[in-house]
Amino acid sequence: MAKPDVTTVTTHWTELANTVSVPHTEAEYQRLVAFLDRLIDEVGEDEKHPLASLMEVVGVLIERYEDEHVPELTGETEG
């Protein structure tokens, strides 16, 4: 396996960082969710699609934010 070229990654990451990053605010989270929706439209169920792994990474970032910031629904009703 070839070693990643940090210079190449840096060049591309600079372009991607505004779209794909760890969300820290509700606005960043919403922007990432919207991006995931567009990825899902593009990739669908095709696990071999070139963007499939990016879709997975974005999903993990969203899940992490939700785990930390969105209260779980317990299914219990008040009353």
- pLDDT per position as a tens digit, 13-52: 888 898 999 999 999 999 999 999 999 999 999 999 999 9
Predicted pLDDT at 8: 86
Predicted pLDDT at 36: 97
State the angle between helix axes of 52-69 and 26-43 in degrees (0 to 180), rounded to the nearest 10: 150
Residue 39: count of CB within 10 angstroms of its CB: 20
Three-class HEC string of the chain: CCCCCHHHHHHHHHHHCCCCCCCCCHHHHHHHHHHHHHHHHHHCCCCCCCCHHHHHHHHHHHHHHHHHHCCCCCCCCCC
pLDDT at 79 over 60: no
**What is the rounded average pLDDT of the residues 6-17?**
87
Cβ atoms of residues 30 and 56 within 8 Å: no
Least confident of 17-21, 39-43, 59-63, 74-78: 74-78
- Residue 76: pLDDT band (50, 70, 90) is low
